[in-house]
Amino acid sequence: MELTGERRLPVDRAAAWLALNDPRVLSACIPGCEALERAAEGEYTIILLAVLGPVRARFRGRLHLEDVVAPLSYTLRFQGEGGPAGLASGSAHVTLTQAAPGTLLEYRVSARVAGRIAQVGSRLIDSAALKMADHFFAAFEKQLGSDSN
């Protein structure tokens, strides 16, 4: 699955960068996130409840930041295991550009799933991924707004 997009954020690049690197903010924005904790510098553990059609699973995984160029861009690699539901892995490349007023966030996500979750079909997976991205960004923009008040 491949997903690309962009969002205009209502804050400057420095504030957007801080939020994108704050586990508290991210855990509040990631749909189904039950826990997100720093394991080491640039590395996090995550527990995520995912529902995709008839498949419901709790994924336990790791997130790792690579190619970090603060406050411009990074690549987030992820992998998780959902027991009988299967596996998920991939990466998300995020770029921030100052764009008055605010910041332009561009993203490119590549993900792979295996196991029962892959059997629901690529259309359902793609649709769910778009919905999750929309939910994440709506919550992220809300967090940015509440942090600036």
pLDDT at 24: 96
Looking at per-residue confidence, does 9 or 146 come out higher? 9
∠ CA 5-10-11, nearest 5°, is 110
3-state SS, residue 91:
strand
* Cα 17 to Cα 119: distance, rounded to the nearest angstrom: 36
Ordered domains of the chain (ranges, CATH): 2-147 (3.30.530.20)
pLDDT value at residue 121 = 80
More confident site: 51 or 9:
9
Q: What is the mean pLDDT of the chain?
A: 92
The pLDDT tens digits of the residues spanning 106-119 come to 999 999 999 988 88
Model confidence at 149, in pLDDT bands (50, 70, 90)? very low
Of 7, 5, 11, residue with least CA distance to 100: 11
- pLDDT tens digits for range 68-127: 999 999 999 999 999 999 999 999 999 999 998 899 999 999 999 999 888 888 888 888
- The reported pTM is 0.89
Peptide bond just before 71 cis, omega within 30 deg: yes
